[in-house]
Structure 1
Amino acid sequence: MSEAGRARVNLLLQISLPFLAGTFLSYMYRSVNAVLGPRLAEEFGLGAAELGLLTAAYFITFGLLQIPLGVLLDRLGPRRVDACLMLFAAGGALIYAGAEGFGGLFLGRALIGIGSSAALMSTFQAFVIWYPPQRTAVMIAIAYAAGSFGAMSVSIPLELALRVWDWRSIFTLFAAVTLAVAVLLWFAVPEAPVKARRKPFMLQLAELGRVLGDPAFRRLAIAIGSSQCAAAATFSLWMGTWLRDVAGFTPIGIAQTLATAGMGMVLGYLFFGRIADARARAGQPVLPVFALGVASGSLCLLVLLLGLTRSLPAASVAVWTLFCFSSTGATLAHAIASRRYPQELAGRVNTFLNTCTFVGAFFGQWAVGVIIALWPATQVAGVAGYSTQGYVWGLGLLWAVQAGGLAWLWSGRRLLDRPAPQILK
């Protein structure tokens, strides 16, 4: 094998696979309640608002940790940060497995959010450090695709596993696998040559403050937050209950649709990543690709909330899948920002964008639950569910937020054509 070939193999084994394994688990935990949520609601007597808050606990702890996480990534490197935080995810999974009520479930899921919070951003930073800049967009797309496979792993596979084991045993297994990935990250990944480690903490925060002073970055952050508010809130919980209550799907039908939509996400990440990579190589802006994806997703969400596919199962699957495919275009915000600012700021810039994503997802997911809870619960063939009218208003809120964020970004698109302000001094 040539020297270049050995280098590629080393990158795969020592960098890509360990970090992608963590990203896989992060998305798995994020999406598990799409299948498990109705069972938890029945076992613990949870209403729509409580179920939404429980599932969103992952997002709020994940999101709030992003800004300090960005500083830690730039100071300590992705290996140490990701491996240590994965221990919190393993502990949270054990607490979740042994929970006896809402409090235990909430604590476990919140700890899982903390433990998963570094997975994607550590992967991004590792790719920025060890891969050439022109490969950034496609490598980020691969990271998102790995995460989507994690989400798919808790669709049909989880539904089938629940016929053999109870959910507590499954979460105990999740904890063991998470611990194994933490060990792999710690021992397999080399130290990162990050110069910013020696910078004082307050100076790093000041540099992030100067990034936030860039009006182009603020619009980009709001746009990804508003788009992923809708995408994450639906795929990780409310898509499954919508399929049950509005479209009349069975549990296995829901799992199959989630798997199909998850594959749509994988293809979306790879498609938009490839297109963005080609445009970046040609010196063309990536923003139009971002806008096309978000606009297409917004149109799909409008079709769903208006109930145009309610009596057409195949159409429901197709539109939800297209929604998931299209919404992945919003993640190009990371590629846009990574090319706009110095590599030394990669951790802080990307984690702030992730803060917007997950804080938006938290409020979006919880708000939909609160709105749905305004209508009386339903019973169809002995199965408890939620009012279809609640979904109309809940999804309507997500659509308005998503479309509004895109409109604001597009109205200021020329700001991204200007040079970024001086950040490092």
Structure 2
Amino acid sequence: MLMALICGFALSQAFRTVAAILAPPLQRELGLSPQQLGLFAGAFHLAFGGLQLFMGMGIDVWGPRRTVLAVFPLTVAGALIAATADGFTQLLVAQFVIGVGCAPAFLACTVFISRRFAPERFAAVNGAALGIGSVGLLVTGTPLAWVVDQASWRAGFLVLAVLAAAAWLAILLLVNESKEPAADRAAPANAVAALRGYGELFALRHTWGIVVLASFTYASFLTLRGLWLGPLLVERHGFGLVQTGHVVLLVSVVGMFGPPLFGRLDPGDRLRRRWIIAGTLVVAAMYLAMAFSRHAVFDVVVSTVMSLVAGYIVLQYADVRSAYPARMTGRAMAVFTMALFLGVALMQWVTGVAAGAAPALGIETYQAVLATTGGLLALAAIAFRLLPAPAVSSAA
């Protein structure tokens, strides 16, 4: 059942990273500016992140299976809208619709894991789910680049629509929520009670540190892998589209091992937050190093290593799991996931603005993008350290 749910998550990974490969052909065919590329990539995450609270309520009330089955068909509809787009506005609508369809995908996996596995196994199993789900990133590497190179970017969206339909069918046939313990299916009786529960969550002071950091960690990785890596390789280093696809594939393959690795290395509640801060600062330093690089090999190597190190983000899920009582886990994960993806939308928009402003300031486009990303990430780590921690972590 978990593998079936991960199929949906894998497709959401594919949809959220298409811009890395599709950006160059979209710029050529539709004349998109850097700011428009940022909005194009960010629209998915705006919809995805903005609906997490409601998806959390849906999962609490109706369960992961019914919530995903009800919403996921929108990914197919959105992909078909994108494949027939004749302008920027239609692309934005398509990305937004796809984001809505994918909104419950990983939250359903996370809640399923939190309910079906012992707390001490949560980080390892969740890390494995993240790693397996990253197969979706492989699709938007060389395979998607080859499809676009042989046919068009429209064909890429059509292929993803077919895969999304297959994932929906797998969840329909294989996931059986009747096997879920009745105690775990206890849920708020109505939307008002559920929203009141979110108010209780935000009343806890340590929620804000979790939300602030979550808004920038995964966002930094997706801003590079899901938007700027392709244009950077094409424009800064003169790579072809298929060559770019090979690098994106390499980054994605290496990145698959990060979450399972850090899930198994989880140091526990006492040291976990120190590891999270250290990982965030290391990744920020990598972005700043790439910002001032002009060497293709250096950028490829650092991007690849960064994709592995970024696996430390799985420790944030374990931090959320340990920061709240079991009755609040679903809502806490929904808020955390909302912060992750609204952060992606924000960072992709901000870096799009930085890219657009760079030439007028005499700064190389990707220097502005990477320096902005690294700087925001470093500030988020500092904020996480200074804001209140949950009692279990502060006691350490």
Alignment TM class, shorter chain as reference: over 0.9
Distance 1:342 1:106 in 2: 39
Verify the 8 A CA contact 1:59 1:358 in the aligned structure 2: yes
Verify the 8 A CA contact 1:247 1:316 in the aligned structure 2: no
Aligned pair partner of 1:160 in 135, 141, 146? 146
Structure 1: which 5+ runs fail to align?
A: 1-14, 378-386, 421-425
Q: What is residue 230 of structure 2 aligned with on the other side?
A: 240
Distance 1:414 1:107 in 2: 39
Verify the 8 A CA contact 1:275 1:289 in the aligned structure 2: no
Q: What is residue 332 of structure 2 aligned with on the other side?
A: 349
Q: 1:250 to 1:418 in 2, by over 3 A?
A: closer
Q: What is residue 293 of structure 1 aligned with on the other side?
A: 279
- Indicate the larger mover: 169-178 or 45-54: 169-178
Deviation for aligned residue 1:37: 1.3
Verify the 8 A CA contact 1:208 1:348 in the aligned structure 2: yes
1:411 aligned partner, one-letter code: L
Q: After superposition, give the CA deviation of every residue in 1:244-286 in whole Å (9 maximum; x if it has no partner).
A: 222333323321221121123212111111111xx33xx6442
User: Any idea what SS the aligned residue of 1:337 has?
Assistant: helix
Asked if 1:372 is matched to 2:355, the reply is yes
Q: What is residue 6 of structure 1 aligned with on the other side?
A: none
Verify the 8 A CA contact 2:234 2:240 in the aligned structure 1: yes
Verify the 8 A CA contact 1:74 1:344 in the aligned structure 2: no
Distance 2:159 2:345 in 1: 26
Verify the 8 A CA contact 1:69 1:348 in the aligned structure 2: no
Q: What is residue 386 of structure 2 aligned with on the other side?
A: 411
Asked if 1:190 is matched to 2:176, the reply is yes
1:50 aligned partner, one-letter code: Q
Q: What is residue 39 of structure 1 aligned with on the other side?
A: 25
Distance 1:76 1:171 in 2: 30
Aligned pair partner of 1:74 in 39, 47, 60? 60
Aligned pair partner of 1:210 in 193, 196, 200? 200
Distance 1:391 1:317 in 2: 14
Q: What is residue 74 of structure 2 aligned with on the other side?
A: 88
Q: How many residues align?
A: 390
Distance 1:376 1:418 in 2: 45
Deviation for aligned residue 1:362: 0.7
Q: Percent identity?
A: 24
Q: What is residue 331 of structure 1 aligned with on the other side?
A: 314
Aligned pair partner of 2:36 in 47, 50, 55? 50
Q: 1:170 to 1:239 in 2, by over 3 A?
A: closer
1:239 aligned partner, one-letter code: L
Q: Which runs of 4+ in 1 moved over 4 A?
A: 412-416
2:250 aligned partner, one-letter code: T
Structure 2: which 5+ runs fail to align?
A: none
TM norm structure 2: 0.92
Aligned pair partner of 1:272 in 238, 249, 262? 262
Distance 2:335 2:301 in 1: 33
2:372 aligned partner, one-letter code: L
Q: What is residue 63 of structure 1 aligned with on the other side?
A: 49
Aligned pair partner of 1:125 in 101, 108, 111? 111
Aligned pair partner of 2:91 in 80, 105, 115? 105
Aligned pair partner of 1:142 in 128, 145, 152? 128
- Indicate the larger mover: 130-139 or 38-47: 130-139
- RMSD between superposed Cα atoms in Å: 2.1
Distance 1:250 1:132 in 2: 47
Q: After superposition, give the CA deviation of every residue in 1:270-316 in whole Å (9 maximum; x if it has no partner).
A: 1111111xx33xx6442222223212111111101122xx12x2221
Verify the 8 A CA contact 2:270 2:393 in the aligned structure 1: no
Verify the 8 A CA contact 1:265 1:324 in the aligned structure 2: yes
